Amino acid sequence: MELSSRLHHVTPSLTLAIDSKAKALRAQGINVCSFAAGEPDFDTPEHIKAAAAAALEKNFTRYTAVAGILELREAIAKKFLADNKIEYQAEEIIVSNGAKQSCFNAIMATVGEGDEVIIPAPYWTSYPEMVRLAGAQPVIVPTTAENHWKMTARDFENAMSPRTKMIIINSPSNPTGAIYTQEELRALAEVAADEEILILSDEIYEKLCYEEASHVSIASVTPEAHDLTITINGFSKTYAMTGWRLGYLGAPQKIVKAIESLQSHSSSNACSFAQYGAVAALEGSQQCVLDMRDEFNIRREYMFSRLQKIDRISVLKPSGAFYMLADITSFGMSSTNFSDRLISKSNVAVVPGVAFGHDKTIRLSYAVGMDVIKEGLDRLEDFCKTL
């Protein structure tokens, strides 16, 4: 049987595959230290669970509007204005089953055959695959540790062609933790505006910024950027709600209408009662977010200090998100080879950088407990000595 040609050039998500492998090994009783998952180990805060449970109890169990309940879209509009200085009306917002679906919908609705989409590497593993699924061509722009893993306006200009339709910005970044400054975003936005290139801004790690770093939304930097940008966010990382599958986007009305139509033929609405949990997340106290961020920061400091001391590994201190991208060039191995040997010899799971378009690195998530981090880094250190 021939499968659809749409899938010929698409590979399954390696981040999810490795996470599942680590979970399966653990289920067999193997003591795996997993740095694979981009998933907070915290439980969803009680007030969020209580709001969803109350909605369920009240039998709020039917279809909702495709774009999500008005109460949630209004809460998101308020959040966009207060936190991101972006003005979106409730009609310019659509709630989906995770930021992943929001990204997928945004790409599907705006790019197609013959279009090119510029993606700075290292990138989140799903972007190029989504672009290919839409029939378009990803144009990968490498960045370097020396440049703090950031694409400059000049890199962007050099990568452009008459076919360029969109650029994807993910700040704070998965997997590098890089955060673009207001000036850097403005420079990129000016290039995009000159050629009317759409900007997909994935801001899912917005609340995880450390030390002096702060998050800026590219849609807020100029009125032109506002009109070209699709701003994506979600609840998974900020509120430890990965399993709830709730994300959202804000964009100009024309794009939102197209996405709403697309979603109306695929998943319809996000889970009805979960949406009330999301309202509570946005409207309740944000102390839980700060507490989780502080804990991630403690782990970041610890993991960074340990990785720095491992011979032949080099690492840049990330400013945001909860990942560390460690350079393994001096071992002379592909990232897959290194990661495979690490899990089979030492029961430590990491994601090979090849999944992010950088084969000389491995990614470690520090969204796991301190005990796992300590043990896993001890094992990694011992493993490196054997190479």
In the complex, the residues that contact ligand GLU under the rule CB under 6 A are 13, 15-16, 37-39, 100, 125-126, 174
Residue 141 touches which of ligand PMP, ligand GLU, none (CB < 5 to 8 A by kind)? none
Residue 68 touches which of ligand PMP, ligand GLU, none (CB < 5 to 8 A by kind)? none
Q: Using the rule CB under 6 A, is 356 a contact of ligand PMP?
A: no
| 222/336 with CB nearer ligand GLU | 336
| 173/220 with CB nearer ligand PMP | 173
Residue 270: CB atoms within 10 Å: 26
Helix axes 14-27, 335-346, angle to 10 degrees: 10
How near is the Cβ of 244 to ligand PMP at its closest, in Å? 9
Q: How far apart are CA 61 and CA 207, in angstroms?
A: 30
Give Cα separations from 129 to 6, 9, 26, 126 (angstroms). 10, 8, 29, 5
Q: Using the rule CB under 6 A, is 99 a contact of ligand PMP?
A: yes
Q: How far apart are CA 320 and CA 327, in angstroms?
A: 18
Binding to ligand PMP, residues 46-85 (CB under 6 A) = none
| 13/222 with CB nearer ligand PMP | 13
323 φ/ψ angles, rounded to the nearest 5 degrees? -130, 155
- Report which of 84, 179, 168 is spatially closest to residue 124, judged by C-alpha positions: 168
CB 326 within 8 A of CB 362: yes
Residue pointed to by tokens 């011992």: 382
Q: Using the rule CB under 6 A, is 203 a contact of ligand PMP?
A: no
Beta strands, E only, 224-343? 229-234, 247-250, 314-315, 323-327
Give Cα separations from 20 to 23, 185, 190, 210, 350 (angstroms). 5, 36, 41, 29, 12
Which residue in 68, 120, 128, 234 binds ligand PMP (CB under 6 A)? 234
User: Residue 31, exposed/middle/buried by CB under 10 A (0-12, 13-18, 19+)?
Assistant: exposed
Binding to ligand PMP, residues 102-121 (CB under 6 A) = 103
Q: Using the rule CB under 6 A, is 170 a contact of ligand PMP?
A: yes
Q: Using the rule CB under 6 A, is 38 a contact of ligand PMP?
A: yes
Q: Residue with the closest Cβ to ligand PMP? A: 98
How near is the Cβ of 78 to ligand PMP at its closest, in Å? 20
Q: Which one of the spans 159-167, 234-242, 250-258, 283-291 is the region binding ligand PMP (CB under 6 A)? A: 234-242
| CB neighbour list of residue 330: distance below 8 Å, 6 or more residues apart | 312, 313
| 106/342 with CB nearer ligand PMP | 106
How near is the Cβ of 76 to ligand PMP at its closest, in Å? 14
Residue 16 touches which of ligand GLU, ligand PMP, none (CB < 5 to 8 A by kind)? ligand GLU
| 124/149 with CB nearer ligand PMP | 124
Q: How far apart are CA 220 and CA 8, in angstroms?
A: 38
State the residues that interact with ligand PMP by CB under 6 A.
38, 98-100, 103, 124, 170, 174, 202, 204, 234, 236, 242, 247
